[in-house]
């Protein structure tokens, strides 16, 4: 049996056209279609549920509070009944007439079968030069990571044997856009892979999901499966945010301290007030950027964000106290005020990261 996973986000217009074509392509193969929708604003999940009422082989998973193509595919696989799993986009860009070939390639002894744009006979279709160049660069980088060498590890159109997926699911990274690449990174090197050429078509309706955020997530994934084994990506991102926060901290300090100066001199009390204000502004900046980037997978919204900000302040309180104490101590020893502030700002980074990870953004 073939279990076809369609991860969707804002594909309400495409599904009514796509499902009948899939049914025709799979008419001779026992199958089920699992639509995994990330609570699309255009009501894709609702359209999918209505279509599912007319078809026994269509099932719908509406994910509320969860988002991401890779995690959607993994969730679809985990709920599937087939001995072969397949994935394709719901926008009409993949040639669904190749689904039987992908299925039979796996069913007859293969581990993975890929609809490939870059093998002989494949094509990216009407892509412009910029997108084609970006894809080629990304593909070249991705190939170097794969346990099994293929020409198109970034394809979103493939099939995989159930047993193979179950053997590596615990190692997969649910974040990101390219689930096939993650599978090829973790499968045994002896895995048999077959590539079937196809031409990438234009979307039926809607807009491409290839945003700058998706491109950034790809770069993050490359780090995660290489250097990330030694230094966690979240810590690196937290340090980057902290580094930017130092500039915010310094900018705020320079601006505020100007109002406490008496001529060219700054009193100890004026310095302390300026540092306290700079610390809180930097905390606010760091919380915002960490929330939308560093800990995006646990992003806080609404009241949760307010509560999280309070927890973040609490988590950072010891770092802030250390920052304040070190800065004041060095300034009192006649260190230059800028040097004192910079050293104080870096004092509590490791503590703040650890506490933030387990208090403000617990996953």
Q: What is the pLDDT along the chain (363 residues), one digit of tens a residue?
A: 999 999 999 999 989 999 999 999 999 999 999 999 999 999 999 999 999 888 888 999 999 878 888 999 999 999 999 999 999 998 888 999 999 999 999 998 889 999 999 888 888 776 667 776 777 888 888 888 898 989 999 898 999 999 999 999 998 987 766 899 999 999 999 999 999 999 888 666 656 555 566 677 777 877 887 888 788 888 888 889 988 988 999 999 989 888 877 766 777 788 888 888 998 899 899 999 999 888 877 788 888 889 888 888 887 777 778 778 888 888 888 888 888 888 887 776 767 777 787 777 875
Residues 270 and 210 placed together within one structural domain of the fold: no
Residues 344 and 318 placed together within one structural domain of the fold: yes
Tell me which residue range forms the domain holding 148.
2-229
Residues 204 and 240 placed together within one structural domain of the fold: no
- CA neighbor of 60 nearest in space, from 95, 11, 113: 11
Choose the final residue of a domain: 229, 253, 285. Answer: 229
Domain count for the chain: 2
Choose the final residue of a domain: 196, 229, 262. Answer: 229
Residues 17 and 32 placed together within one structural domain of the fold: yes
Beta bridge partners of 193: 112
- CA neighbor of 13 nearest in space, from 206, 301, 146, 253: 206
Choose the final residue of a domain: 229, 248, 268. Answer: 229
Decide: 188 and 84 in contact? Cβ < 8 Å: no
Residues 168 and 257 placed together within one structural domain of the fold: no
Residues 154 and 285 placed together within one structural domain of the fold: no
Whether pTM exceeds 0.85: no
The SS3 call for residue 205 is coil
Decide: 33 and 21 in contact? Cβ < 8 Å: no
Residues 24 and 72 placed together within one structural domain of the fold: yes
Residues composing the chain:
363
H/E run at residue 33 = strand 31-37
Contacts with 279 (C-beta within 8 Å, 6 or more apart), sequence order: 249, 320, 323, 324
- Tokens in use for 272? 């302390």
Residues 296 and 166 placed together within one structural domain of the fold: no
Residues 31 and 46 placed together within one structural domain of the fold: yes
Residues 95 and 121 placed together within one structural domain of the fold: yes
- Tokens in use for 127? 């892509």
Contacts with 264 (C-beta within 8 Å, 6 or more apart), sequence order: none
């Amino acid at each position: 049996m073939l279990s076809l996973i369609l991860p969707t986000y804002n594909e309400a217009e495409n599904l009514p056209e796509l499902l009948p074509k899939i049914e025709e392509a799979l008419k001779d193969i026992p199958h089920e279609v699992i639509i995994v929708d990330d609570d699309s604003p255009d009501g894709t999940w609702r359209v999918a549920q209505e279509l599912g009422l007319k078809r026994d082989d269509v099932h719908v998973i509406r994910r509320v509070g969860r988002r991401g193509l890779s995690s959607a595919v993994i969730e679809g696989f985990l709920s599937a009944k087939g001995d072969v799993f397949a994935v394709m986009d719901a926008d009409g860009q993949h040639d669904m007439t190749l689904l039987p070939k992908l299925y039979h390639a796996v069913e007859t002894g293969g581990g993975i079968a890929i609809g490939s744009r870059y093998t002989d006979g494949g094509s990216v279709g009407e892509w412009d030069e910029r997108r084609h160049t970006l894809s080629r660069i990304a593909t070249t980088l991705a190939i170097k990571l794969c346990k099994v060498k293929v020409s198109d590890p970034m394809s979103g159109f493939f099939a995989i044997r159930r047993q193979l997926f179950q053997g590596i699911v615990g190692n997969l990274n649910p974040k990101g856009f390219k689930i096939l690449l993650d599978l090829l990174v973790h499968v045994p090197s002896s895995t048999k892979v077959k590539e079937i050429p196809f031409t990438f078509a234009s979307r039926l309706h809607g807009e491409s999901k290839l945003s700058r955020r998706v491109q950034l997530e790809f770069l993050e994934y490359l780090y995660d499966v290489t250097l990330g084994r030694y230094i966690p990506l979240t810590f690196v991102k937290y340090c980057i945010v902290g580094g930017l926060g130092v500039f915010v901290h310094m900018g705020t300090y320079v601006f505020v301290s100007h109002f406490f100066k008496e001529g060219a001199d700054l009193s100890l009390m004026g310095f302390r007030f300026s540092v306290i204000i700079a610390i809180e502004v930097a905390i606010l900046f760091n919380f915002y950027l960490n929330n939308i980037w560093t800990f995006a997978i646990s992003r806080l919204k609404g009241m949760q964000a307010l509560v999280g900000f309070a927890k973040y302040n609490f988590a950072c309180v010891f770092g802030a106290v250390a920052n304040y104490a070190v800065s004041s101590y060095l300034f009192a020893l006649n260190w230059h005020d800028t040097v004192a502030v910079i050293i104080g700002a870096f004092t509590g980074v490791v503590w703040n990261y650890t506490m933030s990870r387990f208090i403000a953004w617990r996953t």
